[in-house]
Chains A and B, each alone.
Chain A
Amino acid sequence: MFFQQLVNGLAVGGIYALIAIGYTMVYGILFFVNFAHGDIYMLGTYCAFFIFGFMGIEVTGGVINVPQFFAALIPSMLICGVMGIALEKFAYRPIRNGSRLSAMISALGASLFLCNTAMYLFGSQTKPMPKLFAGEYITIGNTIISYIQLAVLVVSILLMLALHFFIKHTKLGKAIRAVSDDQRAAVLMGIDMNRVISATFAIGSALAGAAGIMVGIYYGAVYPTMGAVAGIKAFTAAILGGIGNIPGAMLGGVLLGIIESLGGAYISFGYRDAIAFFVLIIALCLMPTGILRKGRT
């Protein structure tokens, strides 16, 4: 049972980690929490829902294969990336030099706008999503690992590795790190701030979109308010890992997923969310800046 819960926690944690990255990257550069991030994640799921529709896949009880999964994943990530850039352009850029409070209020407004627009356009009911691998699983001892859990884990890890490579080894990645370290010095060195911010939003949003699609397929459901809870959890994960720190967000996400699963199983499922937040409070009391502090790398 312990290993079973660990596997479940890892799969959920991988998804939290992907969403948390977007929160942490934006915070690292602009020092505010992008509350609309969870809604971008929701829109990512809807993108995939409609792409599957275009491909003629039955959503109720439909099954997709790996190429079809990627055929939906990649365009959805691109669309989410573009939406992230647009979000920043319309909701945050005009007030970038205002107080941080204005940015936060604008973020809340953008979140409500996106969520309600989705309700209006797509309807507020929960809609089904097709399945990947039709419920197949492998058994190791007593532990069952479904293919979809494996797929979620593998795709999350691949995306995080790609992000790590991008941040460490490309020019734009270096620019993002520089701005995050010291904005004024970075601008004095000739780094185009707008470009860096757009890139940050695009990457964070694309990863959230990817998380959205995987969640949609994993749970078999998509609905307009799905961003709210996932957003809070991922934000918690980002704080747990040390907000502003990308590896911290990954670690925080995975940890939060595991804590939730194990806490639920060994204490009480009714208190699953409470346990996760309790751990967050304890962690912050002991390590006020999160597990990994924002490093000057």
Chain B
Amino acid sequence: MCKMKYGRLILAILVFVMAGSAVSMEAADTIKIGWYGPVSGAAAQDGQEGRNGAEVAAEIINASGGINGKKLELVFADDKSDPKEGANIATMFVSDKDIIGVAGPFNSSVILAAAPIYNRGKLANVGWGVTSPVITTAGEYIYRVAATDALEGDFMSKWILDEGFKKVAIIYENTDYGVGVRDVAREAIKKYGGEVVTEAAYVQGQTKDFGSIIASVKQAAPDAVMCGSIYNEAALVIAQARDLGFEAPFFGTDGFFSAGLLELGGAAVEGARCCSVFYHEVSSPKVKEFIAAYEKKTGKTPGTWAALSYDSVMVFAEAIKKSGATTREEVKKGLDDLGSWEGATGVQEFDENGDVNKQLVKLIVKDGKFAIYQK
């Protein structure tokens, strides 16, 4: 009886080892890219959308013959918007020798926690949702396809002043993203001839009661409010503001641009304005290819995050195709030498810091939908 057990154990180990070698043999024919984002937690809607976008990218790449004849395989991880998880995932990706590039994440705080690990592991990370200006200097292996808050905050501040709103209040989440927007807007509003009358911070994912913030913002009597918020809190801030009779217009960065804002905010978010690098009615063939594949897969219209996450995977495919890279360092060099390319969020190019330059679109919530803003 006892011998039987050992026999089985040895057999099991043998099978396991063989299966293992089969997997590593197979690995030579695939290119493994890591992907991470908040599939659960406070930004789950955005994270799920991002994951769908990445899956669509892999499907399109593999359907057209893969990258240099190799299949692309994505390894998914959920960071729950938690910087600690981001660091854990980075360690996991860096220790998997087959992974030669990483796409993700959504939250600025998460990439800042993970960045030192990627820099040490010499593994290139292309952020898809991360917009904080601090990330510009996060290290030479950190790239992003999202426009920085410096770009968006400046763009929105100019828009607010162009509309004739001189007195502006800033409400922001106490994260790298929110503080980044605040810093940029504070400077830019002054630069364009306006005045910041008050500022208020809240804790992302925790604060749900904005009554006291609204009361003090209202006291300062601003003409408009600039938000450094993502849709979950933005919808609550605006809805609670309207409940307390505060009617000033709200402006936000691309954190607003999500179906979640419309769903959670209902009629209250009508007239809210924001900007985005992606809008689904742009007529470029690259954009159309992405939208058709996304709609076929999910039955939904893609938003910014789906498009950016799609681009964060696509940029690896483009760079590896162009440079023939097979190692981590070659992939990094491939990204550096990529030059201008077109994705679902337009024609873009990395600068020397790994940031990206692209066009922004003005959007407004109209009849319960996002539409291109027309004066």
Interface residues, chain A, with chain B CB atoms under 8 Å away: 1, 4-5, 8-9, 11-12, 60-61, 119, 123-126, 128, 135, 137, 139, 144, 146, 148-149, 215, 218-221, 225-226, 229, 260-261, 264-265, 268-270, 272-273
Contact = CB atoms under 8 A, between A and B. Distances in A.
B216 A1 contact: yes
A269 B236 contact: no
A45 B278 CA distance: 35
Given A61-B266, A135-B243, A144-B245, A220 B236 contact: yes
Contacts of A218: 209
A120 to B, nearest CB: 10
Most chain B Cβ neighbours within 10 Å, of A126, A137, A226, A265: A126
B339 interface: no
Contact of B212 (A60, A221, A265): A265
A264 B243 contact: no
Nearest to A148: B243
Contacts of A1: 215-216, 219
B340 interface: no
Contact of A146 (B209, B213, B244): B244
Nearest to B232: A126
A144 B239 contact: no
B40 A270 contact: no
Interface in B272-330: none
Contact of A125 (B45, B202, B205, B208): B45
Given A8-B209, A221-B236, A265-B212, A273 B203 contact: yes
Interface of B: 39-42, 44-45, 48, 174, 200-203, 205-209, 211-213, 215-216, 219, 232, 235-236, 239-240, 242-245, 260, 262-264, 266-268
A126 B242 contact: no
A12 B209 contact: yes
A269 to B, nearest CB: 4
A82 B239 CA distance: 34
B41 to A, nearest CB: 7
Most chain B Cβ neighbours within 10 Å, of A60, A220, A225: A220
B45 A8 contact: no
B28 to A, nearest CB: 37
11 contacts: A5-B212, A5-B215, A60-B263, A123-B44, A126-B260, A218-B209, A220-B240, A221-B264, A225-B41, A270-B203, A272-B202
B267 to A, nearest CB: 5
A9 B212 contact: yes
Contact of A12 (B205, B211, B216, B239): B211
Given A60-B266, A128-B263, A137-B245, A219 B236 contact: yes
Contact of A4 (B215, B232, B240, B263): B215
Contacts of B206: 229, 273
A283 to B, nearest CB: 21
A218 B40 CA distance: 24
A68 B213 CA distance: 30
A124 B264 contact: no
Contacts of B242: 135
Nearest to B46: A125
Nearest to A224: B40
The 7 closest A-B pairs by CB, nearest first: A61-B266, A270-B201, A8-B211, A124-B40, A4-B215, A261-B212, A124-B44
A270 B174 contact: yes
B260 A8 contact: no
A8 to B, nearest CB: 4
A11 B213 contact: no
Contacts of B219: 1, 4
Given A220-B266, A225-B41, 13 more contacts: A1-B219, A5-B216, A60-B264, A125-B260, A126-B44, A135-B239, A220-B236, A220-B239, A220-B240, A221-B236, A264-B216, A265-B216, A270-B201
A8 B44 CA distance: 29
Contact of A269 (B200, B244, B266): B200
A152 to B, nearest CB: 11
B141 to A, nearest CB: 30
Contacts of A220: 235-236, 239-240, 264, 266
Contacts of B42: 126, 225
A139 to B, nearest CB: 8
B176 to A, nearest CB: 14
B319 to A, nearest CB: 33
Contact of B243 (A61, A146, A261): A146
Nearest to A61: B266
A126 B46 CA distance: 11
Nearest to A271: B201
Contact of B201 (A8, A61, A265, A269): A269
A273 B204 CA distance: 12
Given A12-B209, A60-B266, A221-B236, A124 B201 contact: no
Contacts of A124: 39-41, 44
B267 A61 contact: yes
Contacts of B211: 8, 11-12, 149, 261
